[in-house]
Amino acid sequence: MTTKTPIMGFNEIVKILPHRHPFILVDKVLEKIPGPDFATNRTGTKIVAVKNVTINEPYFQGHFPHRPVMPAVIMLEVMAQVGALLCYRPTGERFDVAFVGVNEARFRKPVLPGDQLVIKMDCRKDRGQILVFGGQIFVGDDIVAEAEILAKVFPLIEN
């Protein structure tokens, strides 16, 4: 269980991510370490975030009623949302980040109601509009999932 004071809470996260209930999957950000050239390139930037998993998650009703397990695709979405938070620059342009691909995904242990996920992501490549993130999800000291996430940055269209 993490007790570290967050650098970003839920109220700040919803100002950055476009997701809303029931699809906002990040509860808090514990740390963000900018890469050496973060103002122009996100490569090398790292982030650590938390998702608390409860039995109230809507996907547990059908996955599976007799043995609730977090779906693997939801774990990938958690990593993608944390990657989008990694991209955020408080003084930079506003943008949306879309999940466009996944490589080398591995799901090592089931995630169950009551688990606290600690998501660690790093930006491996920043090619302007295309980003490559590496990520791992931990429950305690155990890696439960890992993947390489590809994303595309789009200018934010204001309504």
Read off the CATH number of the domain in which 144 is found.
3.10.129.10
Distance separating alpha carbons of residues 92 and 94, to the nearest angstrom? 6
Q: With pLDDT > 90 as the criterion, what percentage of the chain qualifies?
A: 80
pLDDT at 159 over 70: no
In a domain, 3, yes or no: no
In a domain, 5, yes or no: no
**DSSP code for 114:** T
pLDDT-derived band at 91, boundaries 50, 70, 90: confident
In a domain, 1, yes or no: no
Distance separating alpha carbons of residues 47 and 79, to the nearest angstrom? 11
Q: With pLDDT > 70 as the criterion, what percentage of the chain qualifies?
A: 97
Mean pLDDT of 57-64: 91
Mean pLDDT of the chain: 93
pLDDT at 158 over 70: no
Q: Please answer whether residues 23 and 92 qualify as being in contact, where contact means their C-beta atoms are separated by less than 8 angstroms.
A: no
Selected catalytic residue, list 19, 21, 63, 66: 63
pLDDT at 94: 81
Range of the domain at 86: 10-155
pLDDT at 120: 98
In a domain, 4, yes or no: no
pLDDT-derived band at 123, boundaries 50, 70, 90: very high
Please give the residue that has the higher pLDDT: either 154 or 12: 12
Mean pLDDT of 48-55: 97
In a domain, 73, yes or no: yes
Q: Do strands 116-126 and 46-52 pair parallel, antiparallel, or not at all (unpaired)?
A: antiparallel
Number of domains observed in the structure of the chain: 1
For the question of residue 63 being annotated catalytic, the response is yes
The total of other beta-carbon atoms located within 10 Å of residue 142's CB is: 10
